[in-house]
Chains A and B, each alone.
Chain A
Amino acid sequence: NAGVMQNPRHLVRRRGQEARLRCSPMKGHSHVYWYRQLPEEGLKFMVYLQKENIIDESGMPKERFSAEFPKEGPSILRIQQVVRGDSAAYFCASSPPLGGSSYNEQFFGPGTRLTVL
Chain B
Amino acid sequence: GEDVEQSLFLSVREGDSSVINCTYTDSSSTYLYWYKQEPGAGLQLLTYIFSNMDMKQDQRLTVLLNKKDKHLSLRIADTQTGDSAIYFCAVPNSGNTPLVFGKGTRLSVIA
Interface of B is mostly: strand
Q: Does A85 contact B (CB under 8 A)?
A: no
Of chain B, the residue at the smallest CB distance from A46 is B98
Of chain A, the residue at the smallest CB distance from B1 is A58
Interface size in chain A (residues, C-beta < 8 A): 27
Q: Does A12 contact B (CB under 8 A)?
A: no
Interface size in chain B (residues, C-beta < 8 A): 24
B57 → chain A, closest Cβ, in Å? Answer: 18
Report which of A31, A40, A48, A110 forms a contact with B41, defined as CB distance below 8 A.
Answer: A110
Question: Could you list 28 examples of A-B contacts with CB < 8 Å?
Answer: A4-B42, A33-B98, A35-B98, A42-B101, A42-B102, A43-B99, A44-B101, A45-B93, A45-B98, A48-B97, A55-B97, A91-B43, A98-B96, A102-B30, A102-B92, A102-B96, A104-B31, A104-B96, A105-B33, A105-B45, A106-B45, A107-B45, A108-B42, A108-B43, A110-B41, A110-B42, A111-B41, A111-B42
